[in-house]
Amino acid sequence: MCDLTAPKSEMRQSWPGFRDIILHRYVVSRVIWTYMLSIAVTYSITLCLFPGLESEIKNATLGEWFPILIMATFNMSDFVGKILAALPYDWSGGRLLFFSCLRVVFIPLFVMCVYPASAPTLSHPAWPCLFSLLMGVTNGYFGSVPMIQAAGKVPPEQRELAGNTMTVSYMTGLMVGSSVAYAAYSFAAPAPARFSTFNAHASYTNNTGF
């Protein structure tokens, strides 16, 4: 009967040990950790606000079109920020991380555009549009530059691993930001507001008979 099991020596050569995998990633992470944190913080802050809190901003004149206008402003400015990230400029990891963390000021600014619900502190429609513009540009820029420059900080043979590590940081930022936004909205919004979409759909269904 033919033995299909590979020799242990070949297995050791073909499959690096778990310890080696962790060690390689640790070595790369020590070099690019500021870039990893920068991209994670950037997307965490953005996902805390967009699209959840931004969709709650109201305007009597534009009605339901106002959240759409704000989101369109963010998406267009985010695209501009990604284009600007292609301009040659050698950022240090520390400076990138500093400016990424500085974006936390958008959280209280957008909160003031929404609360108190009866009369928001920043009620003029120009404020959320301006904040969306700035947040979009900075998200596109500081969400792209760390990914672009991190690979250049390690030797050529480690660049693929650096790219994978940065991707994990990017996904971590998305997950953390989305989780924080969901948790904050769940605790802050009253029960009817949480299910407003479903209630509206149910009302429409009852009225039309479909």
Q: How much is the mean pLDDT over the chain?
A: 84
Q: Tell me the pLDDT band of 190, cut-offs 50, 70 and 90.
A: low
Question: Are 30 and 92 within 8 A, CB to CB?
Answer: no
16 backbone φψ class: left, alpha, beta (φ>0; ψ -120 to 50): beta
For residue 116, count CB atoms less than 10 angstroms from its CB and return exposed for 0-12, middle for 13-18, buried for 19 or more.
exposed
For residue 36, pLDDT over 70 is answered with: yes
- Within the chain, what is the greatest distance between any pair of CA atoms? 81
Q: Tell me the pLDDT band of 184, cut-offs 50, 70 and 90.
A: confident
CA distances from 180 to 36, 38, 52, 79, 210 (A): 19, 18, 11, 25, 36
| Residue 16, pLDDT score | 59
Q: Mind listing the domains of the chain with CATH numbers?
A: 18-179 (1.20.1250.20)
Query: Average pLDDT of 106-134?
Result: 92
Place of tokens 């985010």: 78
- Out of 47-61, 65-79, 86-100, least confident range: 47-61
Question: Are 70 and 57 within 8 A, CB to CB?
Answer: yes
Q: Tell me the pLDDT band of 20, cut-offs 50, 70 and 90.
A: confident
Query: Average pLDDT of 119-139?
Result: 94
pTM: 0.79
